[in-house]
Amino acid sequence: MTDERMALVAKALAHPVRIHIVRLLAAQSECRGHEVFADLPLAQSTISEHLRVLKEAGLVQSHPVGTAMVYCLVGGVLEEFGAAIGEIAATVSECEPDEGACDE
Amino acid sequence: MTDERMALVAKALAHPVRIHIVRLLAAQSECRGHEVFADLPLAQSTISEHLRVLKEAGLVQSHPVGTAMVYCLVGGVLEEFGAAIGEIAATVSECEPDEGACDE
DNA sequence: ATCGTTTATCGCCGATGGACGATGAAAGCT
DNA sequence: AGCTTTCATCGTCCATCGGCGATAAACGAT
């Protein structure tokens, strides 16, 4: 996963409300839009915007059902991102103590 | 891990240059500042700012060695974040096909 | 046809982000 | 003392974000 792609996904997740939405979508297969709207004390337009950001990052997809929309996570993207993070974390070589403890 | 904390870490990672820096720091235990500066075609002040963002998010720590600085990743933070992402991903229940394929 | 429901988009605003150059501070070297 | 190296901070500029209300678009129901 390229730096740019990782940064894009991270940017999409860089807001508590969007993390909340992602958790919500992960937790339930039923993902009607108005449930998302009802779950947060924000204007409908604001949440719609957050959903748009998540869709543009490829994390969320949606399709209309009648007058409503069904949102759900795109399979694999979150896994890939988490795995990419884990990969980096796995290569960490801690600061060598002989160079001084890495305190702030 | 709270939504807020996850969003903070994600925000710190929401820039290709910072992803690059994190990879760099993960790859080598030697993490003198000027190596970071030399590795990127950006002004020194710009990179210093990126490092500050990473430090404020708790991803990076640093300590002075003589006139230089040594930067390194804070152990565990990246793992925790990756694990939190993986946790969410693990709970994903795909859109039920009976409700229509989740195409864009 | 008209209305209500649901969602997306627009325009606006204040706040934040990201880049730069310039300046400042700390430490080592001569 | 004076110079160099290394890094942080400041001020400025422009772009983007995040919030809102208002409005539009799509659709089902009456």
pLDDT digits (tens, 9 = 90+) for B33-63: 999 999 999 999 999 999 999 999 999 999 9
Query: Å from B94 (CA) to C24 (C1')?
Result: 56
Contact A50, A18 (CB under 8 A): yes
Min Cα–Cα distance to chain B from A69, Å: 10
Instruction: Report long-range pairs for A85-91 (Cβ below 8 Å, ≥24 apart).
Output: A85/A6, A85/B78, A85/B81, A85/B82, A85/B85, A86/B78, A86/B79, A86/B82, A86/B83, A86/B86, A88/B22, A88/B23, A88/B26, A88/B78, A89/B26, A89/B78, A89/B79, A89/B82, A91/B26, A91/B27
By C1' distance from the Cα of A62, the closest nucleotide is C7
pLDDT at residue B23, rounded to an integer: 96
pLDDT value at A102 more than 90: no
> What is the share, in percent, of chain B residues with pLDDT greater than 90?
78
Quote the tokens at residue B79.
Answer: 């793992």
Comparing A92 with B13, the larger pLDDT belongs to: B13
Inform me whether the C-beta atom of residue A83 falls under 8 Å from chain B C-beta atoms: yes
Residue-wise pLDDT for A17-54, tens only, equals 999 999 999 998 778 999 999 999 999 999 999 999 99
Which DSSP string corresponds to B37-55? HHTSSS-HHHHHHHHHHHH
Report the top-level CATH class of A3-92.
Answer: mainly alpha
Query: Å from A68 (CA) to D26 (C1')?
Result: 10
Structure confidence at residue B94 as a pLDDT band (50, 70, 90): low
Query: Out of A14, A26, A102, whose CB is closest to B88?
Result: A26
| Residue A23 burial (10 A CB sphere; 0-12, 13-18, 19+) | middle
Contact B51, B36 (CB under 8 A): yes
Domain boundaries, chain A: 3-92
* Structural Rg of chain A based on CA atoms: 18
CATH of B3-90, one of 1.10.10.10, 2.130.10.10, 3.40.50.360, 3.40.50.10140: 1.10.10.10
**Mean pLDDT over residues A51-80, rounded?**
94
**Quick check: A14 and B10 CB within 8 A?**
yes
